[in-house]
Amino acid sequence: MTPKKDTPLYQWIDSHAHLDFDRFDDDRGEVISRAKARGVSRVISIGTRIESTERAIALAERYPEFIYATAGFHPLYMTDDHEEGWRSLEELIVHPRVVGVGETGLDYYYDHTPHDQQRRSFRRHLQLANRFKKPIIIHIRDAFEDAFKIIDEEGIKAGGVVHCFTGGPEECLASLERGLYISLSGIVTFKSAKALRAAVPLVPNDRLLIETDAPFLAPTPHRGQRNEPAFVVDTAHCVAQLREETLENLSLLTLENTARLFSLPAIEVSL
Ligand code: NI
Protein backbone atom coordinates (compact mmCIF):
# COMPACT_ATOMS: atom_id res chain seq x y z
CA MET A 1 0.00 0.00 0.00
CA THR A 2 1.49 3.38 -0.96
CA PRO A 3 0.26 6.68 0.44
CA LYS A 4 -1.70 9.07 -1.75
CA LYS A 5 0.53 11.59 -3.48
CA ASP A 6 -0.52 14.42 -1.18
CA THR A 7 0.08 12.41 2.02
CA PRO A 8 3.62 12.68 3.40
CA LEU A 9 5.21 9.40 4.32
CA TYR A 10 5.96 9.59 8.03
CA GLN A 11 8.41 7.25 9.70
CA TRP A 12 7.35 4.70 12.29
CA ILE A 13 8.96 2.13 14.55
CA ASP A 14 7.12 -1.06 15.37
CA SER A 15 8.42 -1.42 18.93
CA HIS A 16 7.16 -5.00 19.37
CA ALA A 17 6.68 -7.71 16.76
CA HIS A 18 7.50 -11.41 16.63
CA LEU A 19 9.11 -11.58 13.21
CA ASP A 20 10.82 -14.86 14.07
CA PHE A 21 7.48 -16.75 14.28
CA ASP A 22 6.96 -19.42 11.64
CA ARG A 23 3.82 -17.64 10.45
CA PHE A 24 6.25 -15.34 8.59
CA ASP A 25 8.44 -18.11 7.15
CA ASP A 26 6.80 -18.08 3.73
CA ASP A 27 6.85 -14.35 3.04
CA ARG A 28 9.08 -12.60 5.60
CA GLY A 29 10.88 -10.62 2.88
CA GLU A 30 7.59 -9.31 1.51
CA VAL A 31 6.37 -8.46 5.01
CA ILE A 32 9.51 -6.37 5.49
CA SER A 33 9.12 -4.67 2.10
CA ARG A 34 5.47 -3.81 2.82
CA ALA A 35 6.47 -2.30 6.17
CA LYS A 36 9.17 -0.15 4.56
CA ALA A 37 6.74 0.98 1.85
CA ARG A 38 4.46 2.41 4.54
CA GLY A 39 7.26 4.27 6.31
CA VAL A 40 8.18 1.72 8.98
CA SER A 41 11.90 2.27 9.43
CA ARG A 42 12.59 -0.10 12.32
CA VAL A 43 11.12 -3.18 13.97
CA ILE A 44 12.07 -4.63 17.33
CA SER A 45 11.67 -8.39 17.08
CA ILE A 46 10.83 -9.76 20.49
CA GLY A 47 12.21 -13.08 21.73
CA THR A 48 9.84 -15.43 23.55
CA ARG A 49 12.10 -18.44 24.22
CA ILE A 50 15.77 -19.35 23.59
CA GLU A 51 15.21 -20.52 20.04
CA SER A 52 12.94 -17.59 19.25
CA THR A 53 15.53 -15.15 20.62
CA GLU A 54 18.24 -16.79 18.51
CA ARG A 55 16.07 -16.39 15.42
CA ALA A 56 15.35 -12.75 16.29
CA ILE A 57 19.10 -12.12 16.59
CA ALA A 58 19.72 -13.82 13.24
CA LEU A 59 17.12 -11.49 11.68
CA ALA A 60 18.72 -8.48 13.34
CA GLU A 61 22.05 -9.52 11.83
CA ARG A 62 20.52 -10.02 8.41
CA TYR A 63 18.71 -6.63 8.46
CA PRO A 64 21.15 -4.52 10.51
CA GLU A 65 19.53 -1.11 10.04
CA PHE A 66 15.99 -2.39 10.25
CA ILE A 67 15.58 -5.14 12.86
CA TYR A 68 16.70 -5.22 16.50
CA ALA A 69 16.20 -8.16 18.85
CA THR A 70 15.29 -8.75 22.49
CA ALA A 71 15.88 -11.81 24.68
CA GLY A 72 13.42 -13.37 27.10
CA PHE A 73 10.93 -16.03 28.12
CA HIS A 74 7.32 -15.05 27.45
CA PRO A 75 5.14 -15.88 30.48
CA LEU A 76 3.05 -18.22 28.33
CA TYR A 77 6.05 -19.96 26.68
CA MET A 78 8.13 -21.12 29.61
CA THR A 79 9.67 -24.29 28.15
CA ASP A 80 13.23 -22.99 28.72
CA ASP A 81 12.67 -22.15 32.39
CA HIS A 82 15.46 -24.40 33.70
CA GLU A 83 19.00 -23.54 34.80
CA GLU A 84 20.56 -24.35 31.47
CA GLY A 85 17.95 -22.18 29.74
CA TRP A 86 18.69 -19.26 32.05
CA ARG A 87 22.42 -19.58 31.41
CA SER A 88 21.74 -19.44 27.65
CA LEU A 89 19.44 -16.44 28.14
CA GLU A 90 22.18 -14.53 29.97
CA GLU A 91 24.53 -15.12 27.03
CA LEU A 92 21.90 -13.88 24.58
CA ILE A 93 21.08 -10.76 26.63
CA VAL A 94 24.62 -9.45 26.23
CA HIS A 95 24.62 -9.96 22.45
CA PRO A 96 25.24 -6.59 20.77
CA ARG A 97 22.08 -6.85 18.62
CA VAL A 98 19.91 -7.42 21.73
CA VAL A 99 18.44 -4.12 22.87
CA GLY A 100 16.17 -5.29 25.70
CA VAL A 101 15.19 -8.06 28.12
CA GLY A 102 11.83 -9.81 27.58
CA GLU A 103 9.21 -10.25 26.79
CA THR A 104 8.45 -11.25 30.31
CA GLY A 105 5.66 -10.45 32.73
CA LEU A 106 2.46 -11.97 34.06
CA ASP A 107 -0.54 -13.33 32.18
CA TYR A 108 -3.33 -14.56 34.43
CA TYR A 109 -5.85 -14.72 31.59
CA TYR A 110 -4.61 -18.07 30.37
CA ASP A 111 -3.83 -20.95 32.68
CA HIS A 112 -1.12 -22.85 30.87
CA THR A 113 1.72 -21.52 33.02
CA PRO A 114 1.34 -21.64 36.84
CA HIS A 115 1.21 -18.11 38.24
CA ASP A 116 3.97 -18.66 40.78
CA GLN A 117 6.28 -19.84 37.99
CA GLN A 118 5.44 -16.67 36.01
CA ARG A 119 6.19 -14.48 39.03
CA ARG A 120 9.56 -16.16 39.63
CA SER A 121 10.51 -15.77 35.99
CA PHE A 122 9.41 -12.11 35.85
CA ARG A 123 11.48 -11.32 38.93
CA ARG A 124 14.50 -13.01 37.44
CA HIS A 125 14.13 -11.08 34.16
CA LEU A 126 14.00 -7.82 36.14
CA GLN A 127 17.19 -8.80 37.98
CA LEU A 128 18.94 -9.57 34.68
CA ALA A 129 17.74 -6.32 33.09
CA ASN A 130 19.08 -4.40 36.08
CA ARG A 131 22.35 -6.30 36.08
CA PHE A 132 23.01 -5.87 32.36
CA LYS A 133 21.43 -2.38 32.25
CA LYS A 134 19.02 -3.11 29.42
CA PRO A 135 15.38 -2.04 29.31
CA ILE A 136 12.67 -4.56 30.15
CA ILE A 137 9.66 -5.45 27.96
CA ILE A 138 6.70 -6.31 30.17
CA HIS A 139 3.54 -8.20 29.25
CA ILE A 140 0.71 -7.76 31.77
CA ARG A 141 -2.70 -9.29 31.34
CA ASP A 142 -5.19 -9.44 34.21
CA ALA A 143 -2.24 -9.20 36.62
CA PHE A 144 -1.41 -5.52 37.19
CA GLU A 145 -1.47 -5.73 40.98
CA ASP A 146 1.06 -8.57 41.22
CA ALA A 147 3.19 -7.11 38.42
CA PHE A 148 3.47 -3.73 40.18
CA LYS A 149 4.34 -5.44 43.45
CA ILE A 150 7.26 -7.32 41.85
CA ILE A 151 8.39 -4.19 39.95
CA ASP A 152 8.39 -2.21 43.20
CA GLU A 153 10.41 -4.89 44.97
CA GLU A 154 13.04 -5.33 42.24
CA GLY A 155 13.19 -1.79 40.84
CA ILE A 156 13.91 -0.91 37.22
CA LYS A 157 17.35 0.54 36.44
CA ALA A 158 17.43 0.87 32.66
CA GLY A 159 13.81 1.68 31.86
CA GLY A 160 10.98 -0.49 30.65
CA VAL A 161 7.75 -0.64 28.73
CA VAL A 162 4.33 -2.11 29.39
CA HIS A 163 3.86 -3.58 25.93
CA CYS A 164 0.45 -4.02 24.30
CA PHE A 165 -1.02 -2.00 27.15
CA THR A 166 -4.55 -3.25 27.92
CA GLY A 167 -5.35 -1.44 31.17
CA GLY A 168 -7.45 1.64 31.78
CA PRO A 169 -6.59 5.09 33.18
CA GLU A 170 -5.75 3.78 36.65
CA GLU A 171 -3.27 1.13 35.46
CA CYS A 172 -1.84 3.63 33.00
CA LEU A 173 -1.08 6.19 35.72
CA ALA A 174 0.32 3.50 38.01
CA SER A 175 2.68 2.37 35.21
CA LEU A 176 3.76 5.95 34.51
CA GLU A 177 4.46 6.53 38.21
CA ARG A 178 6.92 3.66 38.04
CA GLY A 179 8.75 5.35 35.19
CA LEU A 180 7.49 2.92 32.56
CA TYR A 181 6.71 3.66 28.94
CA ILE A 182 3.32 2.64 27.54
CA SER A 183 3.18 0.85 24.20
CA LEU A 184 -0.12 0.87 22.33
CA SER A 185 -1.09 -1.95 19.98
CA GLY A 186 -3.94 -2.54 17.52
CA ILE A 187 -6.30 -3.08 20.45
CA VAL A 188 -6.75 0.71 20.66
CA THR A 189 -8.52 0.56 17.29
CA PHE A 190 -11.26 -1.67 18.73
CA LYS A 191 -14.22 0.52 19.73
CA SER A 192 -15.06 -1.96 22.52
CA ALA A 193 -11.76 -1.20 24.32
CA LYS A 194 -13.31 1.77 26.15
CA ALA A 195 -11.10 1.93 29.26
CA LEU A 196 -7.94 1.54 27.19
CA ARG A 197 -9.02 4.28 24.76
CA ALA A 198 -9.74 6.56 27.72
CA ALA A 199 -6.15 6.04 28.91
CA VAL A 200 -4.53 6.93 25.57
CA PRO A 201 -4.57 10.74 26.05
CA LEU A 202 -3.08 10.35 29.55
CA VAL A 203 0.27 9.09 28.31
CA PRO A 204 2.75 11.99 28.24
CA ASN A 205 4.48 12.68 24.92
CA ASP A 206 7.80 11.37 26.19
CA ARG A 207 6.46 7.96 27.33
CA LEU A 208 4.47 6.73 24.35
CA LEU A 209 5.41 3.87 22.00
CA ILE A 210 3.42 2.04 19.34
CA GLU A 211 3.61 -1.56 18.21
CA THR A 212 1.84 -4.35 16.35
CA ASP A 213 2.60 -7.45 18.48
CA ALA A 214 2.48 -9.16 15.07
CA PRO A 215 1.43 -11.81 14.13
CA PHE A 216 -1.31 -11.24 16.76
CA LEU A 217 -4.04 -8.62 17.16
CA ALA A 218 -4.26 -6.93 13.77
CA PRO A 219 -5.78 -3.45 14.05
CA THR A 220 -8.93 -2.29 12.28
CA PRO A 221 -9.28 -2.46 9.21
CA HIS A 222 -7.24 -5.69 9.14
CA ARG A 223 -8.94 -7.35 12.09
CA GLY A 224 -8.88 -11.13 11.85
CA GLN A 225 -5.90 -11.21 9.46
CA ARG A 226 -2.36 -12.10 10.42
CA ASN A 227 -0.85 -8.89 11.80
CA GLU A 228 2.38 -7.47 10.34
CA PRO A 229 4.59 -4.41 11.01
CA ALA A 230 3.07 -2.39 8.11
CA PHE A 231 -0.17 -2.26 10.12
CA VAL A 232 1.46 -0.18 12.88
CA VAL A 233 0.54 2.77 10.65
CA ASP A 234 -3.18 2.03 11.10
CA THR A 235 -2.72 1.98 14.86
CA ALA A 236 -0.79 5.27 14.60
CA HIS A 237 -3.70 6.95 12.81
CA CYS A 238 -6.09 5.85 15.55
CA VAL A 239 -3.73 6.93 18.37
CA ALA A 240 -3.25 10.35 16.75
CA GLN A 241 -7.03 10.80 16.64
CA LEU A 242 -7.55 9.70 20.24
CA ARG A 243 -4.81 12.09 21.40
CA GLU A 244 -5.95 14.89 19.07
CA GLU A 245 -2.42 15.10 17.79
CA THR A 246 -0.93 15.38 14.30
CA LEU A 247 0.54 12.30 12.65
CA GLU A 248 3.75 14.22 12.19
CA ASN A 249 4.07 14.83 15.93
CA LEU A 250 3.17 11.26 16.78
CA SER A 251 5.72 9.97 14.31
CA LEU A 252 8.49 12.17 15.73
CA LEU A 253 7.77 11.45 19.36
CA THR A 254 7.39 7.68 18.99
CA LEU A 255 10.64 7.48 16.97
CA GLU A 256 12.44 9.47 19.60
CA ASN A 257 10.97 7.56 22.56
CA THR A 258 11.71 4.13 21.10
CA ALA A 259 15.28 5.15 20.24
CA ARG A 260 15.78 6.56 23.76
CA LEU A 261 14.37 3.54 25.60
CA PHE A 262 16.25 0.94 23.55
CA SER A 263 19.40 3.05 22.94
CA LEU A 264 19.02 2.71 19.16
CA PRO A 265 21.33 4.77 16.97
CA ALA A 266 19.79 8.11 15.98
CA ILE A 267 17.54 8.04 12.97
CA GLU A 268 17.53 10.62 10.24
CA VAL A 269 14.06 12.03 9.82
CA SER A 270 13.25 13.54 6.46
CA LEU A 271 9.72 14.84 6.17
NI1 NI B 1 4.53 -10.02 22.23
Over residues 217-246, mean pLDDT: 97
The alpha carbon of 4 and the centre of ligand 1 are apart by a number of angstroms equal to 31
Residue 3 has pLDDT above 70, yes or no: no
Ligand 1 centroid, distance to 202 Cα (angstroms)? 23
Instruction: Kindly give the distance from the C-alpha atom of residue 138 to the centroid of ligand 1, in angstroms, as a whole number.
Output: 9
Q: How far is the CA of 226 from the centre of ligand 1 (A)?
A: 14
- Distance between Cα 164 and ligand 1 center (Å): 8
β-sheet with 40-45: strand ranges across:
12-17, 40-45, 67-71, 98-107, 136-141, 160-163, 181-184, 208-210
Cα(91) to centroid of ligand 1, in Å? 21
**Average pLDDT, rounded, for the chain:** 95
pLDDT band at 255 (very low <50, low <70, confident <90, very high): very high
Q: Ligand 1 centroid vs 5 CA: distance in angstroms?
A: 34
In this predicted structure, what is the pLDDT of residue 127?
Answer: 98
**What's the gap in Å between 45 CA and the centre of ligand 1?**
9
Residues with CB under 5 A from ligand 1 (ion): 213
CB 23 within 8 A of CB 226: yes
**DSSP strands (E only) in the chain:** 12-17, 40-45, 67-71, 98-107, 136-141, 160-163, 181-184, 208-210
Distance 212 CA to ligand 1 centre (A): 9
| CATH code, residues 12-217 | 3.20.20.140
For the chain, which residues make up each domain, given as ranges? 12-217
pLDDT digits (tens, 9 = 90+) for 45-73: 999 999 999 999 999 999 998 999 999 99
Contact 12, 259 (CB under 8 A): no
Confidence band for 266, pLDDT divided at 50, 70 and 90 = confident
> Model pTM?
0.95
SS (H, E, C) 171-219: HHHHHHHCCCEEEECHHHHCCCCHHHHHHHHHCCHHHEEECCCECCCCC
Instruction: For the chain, give the longest Cα–Cα distance.
Output: 56
Bridge partners for 181 per DSSP: 161
6 C-alpha vs ligand 1 centroid, how far in Å?
34
pLDDT tens digits for 131-185? 999 999 999 999 999 999 999 999 999 999 999 999 999 999 999 999 999 999 9
What does the alpha-carbon distance between residue 217 and residue 213 come to, in Å, rounded to a whole number?
7
Q: Give the type of residue at 10.
A: Y
pLDDT in tens, 174-197: 999 999 999 999 999 999 999 999
